[in-house]
């Protein structure tokens, strides 16, 4: 019985130890593909590197806006978009997708911040701040 427990413990340690080694570091970027206008929409290009293939619903694009014109206090508006794709091959082994960000309720003069996360973990390099014109 004791040998069996030791063997199970060793197997569990190998599985747990192997998971972080096989999971690569994901990084990326978000880029606005036009001018953000209050009451309208803007297209954001999301690029991810180290996450191919990108699985639908695995990553989220979040847009938070502050109507006062500066990043202070709690945000006034937030929208979350599951990144479904389609995904295309980008430079240097990255994948990219274009997502439409809704600014219908965001007034001119607001400031916003786009970012990509996986669960509750932000993806390095994906935070973009912008002003709404």
Assign residue 124 the CATH number of its domain: 2.60.40.1490
Would you state the pLDDT for residue 125? Answer: 97
Would you state the pLDDT for residue 53? Answer: 84
Residue 48 lies in a domain: yes
**DSSP summary character for residue 91:** G
Number of domain units in the chain: 1
Q: Is 118 helix (H, G, I), strand (E, B) or coil?
A: strand
Would you state the pLDDT for residue 20? Answer: 39
pLDDT 10s digit of each residue in the chain, 133 long? 455 444 445 444 443 343 333 357 999 999 999 999 999 999 999 999 998 788 999 999 999 999 999 999 999 999 999 999 999 999 888 999 999 999 999 999 999 999 999 999 999 999 999 999 9
Residue 31 lies in a domain: yes
Residue 15 lies in a domain: no
Would you state the pLDDT for residue 1? Answer: 47
pTM: 0.79
Q: How far is CA 133 from CA 73, 80, 105, in A?
A: 21, 21, 13
Residue 1 lies in a domain: no
Residue 125 lies in a domain: yes
Which residue is listed with tokens 């508006």?
77
Would you state the pLDDT for residue 51? Answer: 83
Domain limits at 113? Answer: 25-131
Residue 87 lies in a domain: yes
Residue 46 lies in a domain: yes
Contact status, residue 30 vs residue 59, Cβ threshold 8 Å: no
Would you state the pLDDT for residue 13? Answer: 46
Residue 122 lies in a domain: yes
| Segment (H or E) for 1 | none
């Amino acid at each position: 019985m004791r040998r069996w427990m030791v063997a199970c413990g060793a197997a569990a340690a190998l599985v747990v130890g192997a998971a972080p080694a096989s999971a690569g570091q994901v990084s990326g970027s978000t880029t606005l593909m036009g001018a953000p206008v209050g009451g309208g929409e803007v297209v954001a290009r999301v690029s991810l590197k180290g996450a191919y293939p990108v699985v639908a619903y695995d990553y989220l694009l979040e847009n938070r806006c502050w109507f006062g014109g500066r990043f202070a206090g709690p945000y006034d508006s937030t929208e979350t978009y599951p990144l479904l794709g389609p995904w295309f091959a980008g430079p240097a082994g990255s994948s990219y997708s274009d997502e439409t960000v809704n600014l219908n309720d965001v007034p001119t003069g607001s400031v916003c911040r786009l970012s990509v996360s996986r669960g509750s973990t932000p993806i390095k390099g994906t935070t973009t701040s912008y002003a709404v014109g």
